[in-house]
Amino acid sequence: MELKSVLVVDPVDGEYTANVKISGTKIESVDRAHGNPRAIMMPGFVDTHSHGAAGVNSMKMDHAGLEKWEEFLYPHGVTFLLPSTVSALKKDMLRVANQVSSYMEEKARTSIRGVHYEGPYINVKKKGAQNPETIRPATLKELREVLTDDVILVTMAPEIDGFFEALVEMKMQDVVVSIGHTDATFAQVNKAFEAGCDRMTHFPNGMNTLHHREVGCVGAGLILPFKLEMIVDGFHTSPEFVKLVYVIRGADNIILVTDSIDATGLEDGIYDLGGLKVTVNEGKATLDDGTIAGSTLVFDQAVRNFRKWTGCSLVELARVSSYNALTNLGIRNRGRIKEGYIADLVVMNSELNVVETILAGKTVYKL
Would you say 86 and 130 are in contact if contact means Cβ atoms under 8 Å apart?
yes
Task: Provide the b/e sequence for 288-316 (b: ≥16 CB within 10 Å).
Answer: eeeebbbbbbbbbbbbbbbbebbebebbb
Cα–Cα distance list, 240 to 64, 92, 122, 232 (Å): 40, 38, 28, 11
Nearest by Cα to 301 from 232, 252, 365: 232
Specify the pairing of strand 254-256 against strand 227-230. parallel
Main-chain phi, psi angles of 240, to 5 degrees: -65, -40
Annotated binding site: 118, 129, 181, 202, 205-206, 213, 236, 292-294
Would you say 96 and 83 are in contact if contact means Cβ atoms under 8 Å apart?
yes
Instruction: Choose the catalytic residue: 47, 259, 300, 344.
Output: 259
CA atoms within 13 A on the CB side of 192: 34
Annotated binding site for substrate: 129, 205-206, 213, 236, 292-294
268 is catalytic: no
Q: What span, in angstroms and rounded, lies between the C-alpha atoms of 280 and 143?
A: 34
DSSP state of 126: G
Nearest by Cα to 84 from 294, 255, 279, 292: 294
Annotated binding site for Zn(2+): 118, 181, 202
Would you say 230 and 223 are in contact if contact means Cβ atoms under 8 Å apart?
no
**Active centre residues (catalytic):** 259
